[in-house]
């Protein structure tokens, strides 16, 4: 990773805690260790429009129709560690959104690849032609 990490202010993040499934022993049914982080990307002025669009596209199903990114973390047994995990995952998403995709350069097929394609088509045509009805010529 190149360059410094772009910090998202704590005020821009909203946390909700709930009980997580999975391992946890006696605490699993009484301690709210799982974290749901919500970040309003559409309403945030932290990024430019281009970065915001890329961020929402990268978020995919984690983004709501309103442009809020929702990340759920419940891998760890402590609330604080899950909270850090959710922040790190959002941070990684933001880092990837700041990377500009390389523009695709249009290329033409080589002469050899055209020839390979045409010979392949010819071979396939003869195979198909040989499957036709057998005629009895007298």
As a whole number of angstroms, the distance between CA 58 and CA 98 comes to 11
Tell me the pLDDT of the chain (138 aa) as tens digits. Answer: 445 566 788 888 889 998 887 776 777 777 888 899 999 888 888 888 888 889 889 888 988 898 899 999 988 888 899 999 999 999 999 999 888 889 999 999 999 999 999 999 999 999 998 897 777 775
pLDDT at 2: 46
The answer to whether position 19 is within a domain reads yes
Q: Which residues contact 31 (CB under 8 A, 6 or more apart)?
A: 19, 24, 79
Q: Residue 59's closest CA among 98, 89, 93, 36? A: 93
53 is a domain residue: yes
The CATH number of residue 47's host domain is 3.30.160.20
Residue 106 domain flag? no
For residue 77, being part of any structural domain is answered with: yes
Residue 25: inside a domain: yes
Looking at residue 4, what is its pLDDT?
56
CA-nearest of 51, 70, 78, 57 to 13 is 70
39: β partners: 13, 69
The reply to whether 26 falls in a domain is: yes
Query: Considering its fold, how many domains does the chain have in total?
Result: 1
* Within a domain: 2: no
Query: What residue numbers bound the domain in which 40 lies?
Result: 10-98
Report the number of secondary-structure helices (H) and strands (E) in the chain.
3, 3
Is 58 part of a structural domain of the chain?
A: yes
| Percent with pLDDT over 70 in the chain | 93
What is the pLDDT at residue 51?
A: 87
């Amino acid at each position: 990773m190149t360059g410094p990490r772009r910090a998202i202010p704590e005020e821009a993040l909203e946390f909700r805690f709930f009980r997580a499934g999975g391992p946890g022993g006696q605490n699993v049914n009484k301690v709210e260790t799982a974290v749901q982080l919500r970040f309003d990307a559409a309403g945030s002025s932290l990024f430019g429009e281009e970065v915001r669009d890329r961020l929402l596209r990268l978020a995919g199903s984690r983004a709501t129709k309103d442009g809020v990114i929702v990340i759920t973390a419940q891998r760890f047994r402590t609330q604080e560690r899950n909270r850090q995990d959710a922040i790190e995952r959002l941070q990684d998403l933001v880092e990837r959104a700041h990377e500009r995709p390389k523009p695709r350069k249009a290329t033409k097929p080589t002469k050899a690849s055209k020839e390979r394609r045409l010979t392949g088509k010819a071979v396939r045509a003869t195979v198909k032609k040989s499957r036709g009805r057998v005629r009895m010529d007298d």
